[in-house]
Structure 1
Amino acid sequence: MLRLSSLSISIIVALIFPSTVFADEDDMEIIEVKGRPQENFSLADPSTSIPQIDASDLLKTLPGAAVNGNGPLSGIAQYRGLFGDRVNTQINGVSLAGAGPNAMDTPLSYASLILTEGVSMTRGIAPVSAGIDTLGGSIEVIESKASFDETSGEVSGQYQTNGDRGNLGGKVNLGSEKQAVLLYAEKLQGNTDVTTGDGDTITPTTYEKTMAGGEYRVNLSKNGINDESIAFGYQYLETNDAGTPALPMDIDFIRTHRFKVEGEHNISSWDLNWHMAYSDADHAMDNYSLRDKPDTSSARYNSANSNSFDSEISIAKDAWLFGLDARMSQHNSLITDPTDSSFYIDNFNDIQDNIYSIFAQWQQDIGQWNWQFGSRIKNYQTDSGTINTSMASTMTAVQALVDDFNNSDRSQVQTGLDLTINGQYQFNDDLTGIIGLARKQDSASYQERYLWLPMQSTGGLADGRTYVGQVDLDLETAYQLELGFDFEHNQWKVSPRAFVNRIDNYIQGTPATDANVIAVAAMMGDDNPMQFSNVDALLYGMDFTASYQLSTHWNMDFLGSYVRGERRDIDDNLYRIAPLNITLGLNFQQGNWIGRIEGVANAAQNNVSETQLEETTAGYAIMNVSAGYDIENWTIRAGINNLFDTEYEDHLAGYNRVYSSDIAVGSRMPGMGLTTWVTGAYRF
């Protein structure tokens, strides 16, 4: 169970009183939400996007965003070259930890497709109010909530030919003036492995996933405005037999129960919002059920579990916003051999990963400027129980690693400070200038800190390397600058952003130097093990959106992103950085008919990490086409992705780890070939 410090108990007590805040805006339109300062967001709309099987797919339509794809249900968010825990990822304001030590159940995998109304991304430097750790930006899935005075529902489904993939979901809202209930359920299934443009099969890429839950909301308002309420929510997720070919194991099952209670209140002109959320997750994975295991390799089964608690209370009035946050998680991971009952490895044991934080934010118009200033103080507390393994009794080097870890000071306490300045200057009705400055800090993940035996439980790096952690890693400290503008005149909308992100103590793998680590890794077949270390990094680049209204029925849109990631301490590049990519779309709309032709191009990525033996990838371009018919109660859309069945390698998709596959072991994972699809929805 989670350990509660005196500080965490105080925070939980404080949360008995009313607050969560969030606004959803797109990058061309600002919506003012009471009690929350205006912020710049980019919004991905699932109703107009290519069909998704995971909410992470929507990130590809946002400027600067990308996806590290380790499997059909295991997409990791990347923003301007930073990924994983550095990117603050929330679902309706909540951030709960997954169970998998290799991020098979990523934060975005817990988003319900039938509930998802959009994926909102803070473009540029995220304000301190966006979340506790926002060094790599902030992403939020906006899901439907129970609504008062409304009876409505939706049934939707989709089917894709490549992989025989389909999903079916439904939701219903029953709301009176004082009470509302939202219920939903959905089923997603991939029945066969997908194929590439050359006809090769990517094994395994099948999956089965079920989600169900609901929300009950009570209206506390006395004036019928519906601005005060308390809600109780529950979600059940079960994933079975899902492939992750870029990782050493596949998903046997993930079973997660998530609970949430939240409230919004107005007290003496102050807007109070709060939430408390809890997750209980069990996860198992293996290297033999969905893939062929070489005769020279041993069977391995990993049983993992986590408990996670997330809370926030915030209060806002006029230009001011104050908040208090707590996020606590506990993790375990045990590796066994189904053919040998005596074999075991304590992968992670009783990991405690807790963060407590307080923030203040002020936003005000001053002349033609709109300024936003924010500060957040964070207290990180991490710890691990002692570990052991059956291998220690027969391997001296393993016993030495066990002793070194158990005798180390595993309890770590660190304090971080975030400072942000965001400014907008209104030159005229058409042109707004953008400037942002920040100093942000982030702590190591529990894998980076407490992985004691050379293994690949790395939070989804998918580079095929074995790693060990370092207990006393320093906080990453980033100094960020952003410049840009928004221009809108007649038929044109243009919004470029340039950025620089200088990070001290950036955490990345470097060659291990411990003789025992090297010896154990060699016994496991890796002559070049890595250790998570603090290095110095620099990321810079630009992302760009634009649109042009060609005529009444036709318009074009453009999305481009470029980022370069470099080491500052040595002459090398950072690992798994998205290449230059461009999307150009031609859209048609007349009456109820809609259509789109879309070209997606990725440049070659030659700036790769030599330290991590990262391979380069060639550039490619694919075309997607779609058409649809949309009226008040129902919508149907159909299309073809990768129209010309192009064979290509996705630089962010990792390397194949599966033997007896059409894809060579260690080769870059290829992209999906041609697939036709159809989606439909009925609303009432």
Structure 2
Amino acid sequence: MKYSLLAFAVTAACTSAHVYANTSEFIDSASTEVITVIGSSLNNVKDIEREAVTAATNIDADFGDQLALLPGVSISRNGPVTGLIQYRGLFGDRVGVSVDGVDIAGAGPNSMDSPLSHVLPEPGLTATLYRGIVPVSAGVQTLGGKLRINADAVSLFALGNGITGSVNASLIAPGSGHQYQGNVLYKTDQAFVSGAFMHQQRDERESGDNTVIPNSHYQRNGAKFRLGYEWGKHQFDASYQQLNTNESGTPALAMDIGFIDAAWYRVGYRYNAGEAEYFAMNWFGNSNQHAMDNFSQRMIMSESMARENNADAIAQGLDAKYVMPLDTGELELGAYLHHARNNSVITNPNNGMFFVDNFTNAKRDTASVYAQWTINTDAYSSTLGTRYTRVSMDAGEAGSNMVMMNPAIATLVNSFNAADRDKNYSMLDVAATTRYHASDSLDIVLGISQKNRAPTYFERYTWLPLGISGGMADGFNYIGNLELDNETARKIDVGIDYNYESWTISPRLFYQDIEDYITGSPSTNMAANMVSSMMAGTEPFQWTNTDAVIKGADMTVQGQLSDSVSLRAVATIQHGNRDDIDDALFRIAPEHLTTTVQWNTQVFDAPLQMQLTSELAGAQNHVSALQNEASTAGYGLVHITGLVTLLDSAHSNLQVTATIHNLFDKEYAPHTAGINRVMNTDVEVGERVPGAGREWHLSLSYRF
């Protein structure tokens, strides 16, 4: 290992800090496992320190760099607006992500429009990660964890009357990046109304050796409208967001983003029956229109190879819960319904006869109910819950103009259309956590769970071997499997929270055994193998059920070095293996250590906050031989940020933030970065997409 986390841990903890945000941990209830939050609350409902998911400090367009500060989290990135959350070795659809209470159904089968791409900063926006065992109340199919990104309506109703708002303007270089973000909120005794907008644009980025990072450009515009009204014990709020992504690159995938027109809505109602008793219900949905192609933003060998994929997704959902006191804790009962439908058609603009009906009316319906009991005593706190979920899937017929000229494709079409494509999955989740208060300074945490995940529509219904992997982006073609079973993960999580004076240390150990893990294995379908060999020169993988084990640890350390200097360190290590063969799981993040030293002082009576960061990643040599995954070297980065408050009063605030990312212009490539598939660029096809070199971010923010 070129960089050892153990060797650098002490030095990094004493000399470095993270540039983007501070995070604090709190107990969502006295019994739920620690929840890590990035965000800025609008009031002091919870007495914790928070930083905003904010446009003032982000380097990544989708704010993934701010989320990567959380223990166990890394970002698997296929493009500048295509980041996938990886938590403890699992990523993609296994990690549940909701935005303002909406479970978004993406249109792109390769997760170009990933949940993170739908984030638009607004007042009170927080990102909440359930660390360790996820309670069943957090959502359905949370096998790989749960991240909630939202501005809580209860906090908005608690604001004082009047108009508040903020504007932000940022410049990022190199790449001529600029972004603008603003919001305004008007509050009365019983109601509020708010609006927010965002614009982001950037040209190609550069690596540490001045290599142009291929297809790292992006352009996005978005707006959000929200209102709320309360009368007596009743609260009502509604949200609508429109986010338009224009031409943006995805160098790790076979196509780039032409456009994504994404809209979502949510209507919420809450009845406060008593101080600790309430009923809440949300109705939500989204509609995504998505075009991608392989010719407008990259070179192709010939016009006959040009492909455009037009995809769409429509979803609606309803969730409801009732919470009441029970003995020394509370009882929560809930229900969830969700319907999603996907379509995808591939064409060639140079050949009007060419078409592939990739997915036709692929439907996925989810119905779920749960019960959860929280117990709080002086000696311990516990959460026990169970959830039953039923997922029903179906899809329309496949088709292509190539049926008449290619017998292998005709075989695939006929076999798929003749098959029974309708299937139901019944799944039982169970989660239990206990926090034993051993002393005033020591808590012992133990959690166990069984969580399930049904296959995605592309894992079942990809009838033609294509590079559709849900964002895994290993370069292989994949074909679906109508016989897939659901995944079942059994997990144990143990750790402690130890407090000494101003310091807190929170280590966790975890072990997860996943039965019927869905991954790719060499295809035995002769027709699919013939088609893939003809198109790509390689035989495809088929989604299959195997078994897998993921184990590891993460730890946070935080405290005060002095009255004005604080430190926070986050370390993560994980190891994933398939059980059916001796092979590693693909694209697992290596061990990682991020430490933050923050200094609060004053310059000419103006408050100044300085942060210095050390980000250390180990080499990753435990790679998938089956998927031709290459090892990566470790690296170390240093970042620095300064924030000065020029004006600060009860009604307004003016701040200037300056960030230098990768201060020493280090050349590196994260293991979770994708493999370049864009020809005729500074980065060879098949090489890992490099990380950005030294970058500057200057931001001016005004709050009123």
Q: Same fold (TM over 0.5)?
A: yes
Contact 2:447 2:494 in 1 (8 A): yes
The runs of 5 or more residues in structure 2 that have no matched partner are 1-21, 39-50
Q: Deviations over 1:411-454 (max 9, x none)?
A: 01010000011010111111111100001111111111111111
Equivalent residue letter for 1:42: T
Give the counterpart letter for 1:379 in structure 2.
R
Is the aligned partner of 1:683 residue 2:686?
Answer: no
Alignment counterpart, residue 325 of structure 1, candidates 320, 325, 336: 336
Residue among 250, 258, 267 paired with 1:252: 258
SS of equivalent residue, structure 1 residue 292: coil
Paired residue total: 651
Q: 2:291 aligns with which of 284, 294, 303?
A: 284
Question: Corresponding residue for 1:369?
Answer: 380
Instruction: Give the match for residue 311 of structure 1.
Output: 318
Whether contact under 8 Å (2:667, 2:693) holds in the other structure is yes
1:92 aligns with 2:103: no
Unaligned runs of 5+ residues in structure 1 are 1-24, 222-226
Q: Displacement of 1:142 after TM fit?
A: 2.4
SS in 2 for 1:29: strand
The match for 1:593 is 608
| Residue number in structure 2 paired with 1:138 | 146
Q: Residue type of the partner of 2:681? A: S
Over the aligned positions, Cα root-mean-square deviation in angstroms equals: 1.7
1:516-595 → structure 2 map (5 Å cutoff): 516-591=527-602, 592-595=607-610
Do structure 1's residue 471 and structure 2's residue 471 form an aligned pair? no
Q: Give me the whole-angstrom Cα distance separating, in 1, the residues matched to 2:103 and 2:569.
A: 31
C-alpha change, 1:416 and 1:355, in structure 2 (3 Å) is same
Aligned twin of 1:450: 461
3-state SS in 1 of match to 2:443: strand
SS at match of 1:410: coil
Which structure 2 residues correspond to residues 271-670 of structure 1 after superposition, within 5 A? Answer: 271-295=278-302, 298-318=305-325, 319-591=330-602, 592-630=607-645, 631-632=648-649, 633-670=653-690
Distance 1:464 1:329 in 2: 27
State the alpha-carbon separation in 2 of the partners of residues 52 and 290 from structure 1: 20
Whole-angstrom CA distance in 2 between matches of 1:412 and 1:267: 41
2:304 and 2:351 in contact (8 A); partners too:
no
Secondary structure at the counterpart of residue 68 of structure 2: helix
| Partner amino acid, structure 1, of 2:700 | G
TM-score normalised to structure 1 length: 0.93
Structure 2-normalised TM-score?
0.90
Alignment partner of 2:536: what SS? coil
CA distance in 2, matches of 1:144, 1:375: 25
- Report Cα offsets for 1:529-561 as digits up to 9, x if no partner: 100100010000000110231111112221110
Q: Which runs of 4+ in 1 moved over 6 A?
A: none
Task: Write the distance in 1 (CA, Å) between the matches of 2:25 and 2:442.
Answer: 12
Distance 2:638 2:174 in 1: 16
* Native 8 Å contact 2:291 2:310 kept in 1: yes
Shift of residue 102, structure 1, vs aligned partner: 1.1
Q: Distance in 2 between matches of 1:316 and 1:138?
A: 21
> Whole-Å Cα distance in 2 between the matches of residues 421 and 37 of structure 1?
10
* Aligned equivalents of 2:369, 2:537: Cα separation in 1: 44
Higher relative contact order (CA 8 A, sep 6+): 2
Aligned-pair identity (%) = 33
Match among 165, 180, 185 for residue 153 of structure 1:
165
Against the structure 1 CA distance between its residues 580 and 37, is the aligned structure 2 distance closer, same or farther, given a 3 Å change threshold?
closer
Letter in 2 for 1:674: R
Alignment match, 2:7: none
Q: Is the contact between residue 530 and residue 539 of structure 2 (CA under 8 Å) also seen in structure 1? A: no
Contact 2:101 2:266 in 1 (8 A): no
Distance 1:150 1:311, change over 3 A: farther
C-alpha separation in 1, matches of 2:164 and 2:496: 40
Q: Residue 397 of structure 1 aligns to a residue in which SS? A: helix
**Deviation (angstroms), 1:520:** 0.4
1:636 CA displacement: 1.4
Is the CA contact (8 Å cut-off) linking 2:346 and 2:358 kept in structure 1?
yes
Contact 2:25 2:37 survives alignment (8 Å):
no
User: Is the Cα contact below 8 Å between 2:57 and 2:697 reproduced in 1?
Assistant: no
Aligned-pair CA distance for 1:653: 1.1
SS of residue paired to 1:61: coil
Report the equivalent of 1:265.
271
Q: Provide the C-alpha distance between the structure 1 equivalents of 2:660 and 2:301, rounded to a whole number of angstroms.
A: 37
- Letter of the 1:103 partner, please give it: S
Do the aligned partners of 2:33 and 2:433 also contact (CA within 8 Å) in 1?
A: no
In 1, are the aligned partners of 2:98 and 2:115 still within 8 Å (CA)? yes
Q: Once the two structures are superposed, what CA deviation does each residue of 1:135-181 show, in whole Å capped at 9, x if it has no partner?
A: 00100112365546342101112221022212101111111112210
SS state of the match for residue 67, structure 2? helix
The aligned residue for residue 189 of structure 1 is 201
* Cα distance, 1:462–1:204 mapped onto 2, change above 3 Å: same
Residues 61/637 of structure 1: CA separation in 2 closer, same or farther (3 Å cut): same
8 Å contact from structure 2 (residues 57, 699) kept in 1: no
- Distance of 2:676 and 2:364 partners within structure 1: 31
Tell me the alpha carbon deviations over residues 39-92 of structure 1, each in whole angstroms, 9 at most, x when there is no partner: 521112335865442133222100001111011111011100001111110112
CA apart distance, 1:267: 2.9
